[in-house]
Amino acid sequence: MITVFEQELEKGTGVPYILLQNKCIQPSEIVEDIFYQNIIENKAFDPQCEGSRSDYMYNLLELYPERKKIDDRVIAYFHKMTKDDWGDIQVFGFAVRLAQDGRFEKNALYKKFEYYAKEDLSPWVRGVEELIKLDKYEAVVYLARYFGSRIADKDIEEFTEYYFYELYAQEYTGYDTETITAMLQEEHDPAIYRYLNIAQTKREHSPREVQSYTAEEVILTLQKPDFKERAELPRIRRWINRQASDEDIKKLSGCFIGADEVLKKRLIRLFPKKCIQVPLQALFDSFDSIQDGEYRTDLVEALIPLHNPDVYDFLLERYDENTATGFLKICVQFYSEDKEWKLLELLDNCGMYDIEDIVDSVLESEELAKHDIFKYILRLLYHKTKCSICRGQVLEKMMEHGIADSNIYREIQYDANKNIRKLAEKSRFEKE
């Protein structure tokens, strides 16, 4: 049970809440360490996109009889936390909750903000949002005064055309940006005046240069012996996806046939979205002739947009660990009942990153949605995905098809993702 608890905690589902509520998880050092590790480090699939889980973790601990032990460990961690700690956002948010409930001295939060501000002064310094959440307008006044008295000439551009409270004002103070700005003017504080004058300064904007190419320039770039793939390839891809003409695509595709192995490997990476205009057999021959696993992965991704059912038959006896995820997308793309066994086999062997990679393909498949297996796959994706954003997308499709049962509706009330919790509220409202 502890293993399930830990796995679901990392995914951010409502299962840990239910396990604690039903007393299926008893206090122990193991459980306390699991809690602690998940507080000082956001273990979400993509923390930057999914956001902090400080409220989620804090609320779970309200059900844990020995929470003070964990609180004390987190407080000790907070005091020694530095700018190099990746969990600082979540720990700061957790400390705010402790302070709100009188379990932690809030002055420590201000001191920690000042530590970060001395290291790197900017409107986005760690602690700005957290202090406003804690003390609302009072914190805004403190921060405006702090910035106004400390912004050096070298920092001014960082602060122009942006109020540090823009993103948080309405949510945490109840006032919009314009109202708070007017209120700050009424403080009649020289440091605050200086801050507002800097924030209201217009910045000189230079037009952003967009890298542009011709097909011939791309080919010459790819042929360079010292081609810098990590720097150059993303720029070329952006040009292909946004600006390249049909004639450009045709020229780049035509280069593939006679290219050497190195150039083929570089060319095929340009076509994960656009269709490469090459005879299908030429791509099949290239797959068989080049054994490099990374190349085969990229080639299969280039085969997907072609929407050709022959690709399934070709890969059926050739796929391996490098191409299984791409082949899975093709199985979804050309689903029929006689292919069901292969689709299920691939899904059962999917790892965490593979699952995230196929969610869109499954949800967008109109053919798959016509069959009963679609409901099974949605349930499987819901339970296997670690990304809460993907989980929410899958859940919406489950609700659309009427396959979200009472257990799922119960657990999503306590999910880490606020949009998933809103789906629970929406469902309850619709039932009423």
310-332 confidence digits (pLDDT tens): 999 999 999 999 999 999 999 99
Task: Report the candidate in 64, 44, 92 with the shortest Cα–Cα distance to residue 417.
Answer: 44
Q: How far apart are CA 362 and CA 398, in angstroms?
A: 12
pLDDT at 353: 82
pLDDT at 87: 78
- Please tell me the number of Cα atoms within 13 Å of 313 on its side-chain side: 5
Q: What is the mean pLDDT of residues 240-253?
A: 92
Are 275 and 283 in contact by the 8 Å Cβ rule? The answer is no
* In the predicted structure, residue 404 carries a pLDDT above the cut 50: yes
The tokens describing 354, both together, are 């593979």
Q: What is the pTM of this model?
A: 0.86
Whole-number CA gyration radius for the chain: 27
3-17, 47-61, 350-364: least confident range: 350-364
Q: How far apart are CA 59 and CA 418, in angstroms?
A: 13
Identify the band that residue 432 occupies on the pLDDT scale cut at 50, 70 and 90. Answer: very low
pLDDT at 429: 53
Q: How far apart are CA 335 and CA 367, in angstroms?
A: 7
Identify the band that residue 351 occupies on the pLDDT scale cut at 50, 70 and 90. Answer: confident
Q: Which helix (H) or strand (E) holds 21?
A: helix 15-21
Q: What is the mean pLDDT of residues 104-111?
A: 96
Question: For the segment 136-170, what is each residue's pLDDT rounded down to a tens digit?
Answer: 999 999 999 999 999 999 989 999 999 999 999 89
Question: For the segment 217-242, what is each residue's pLDDT rounded down to a tens digit?
Answer: 999 999 999 998 888 999 999 999 88
Identify the band that residue 430 occupies on the pLDDT scale cut at 50, 70 and 90. Answer: low
Centroid of chain to Cα 331: 26
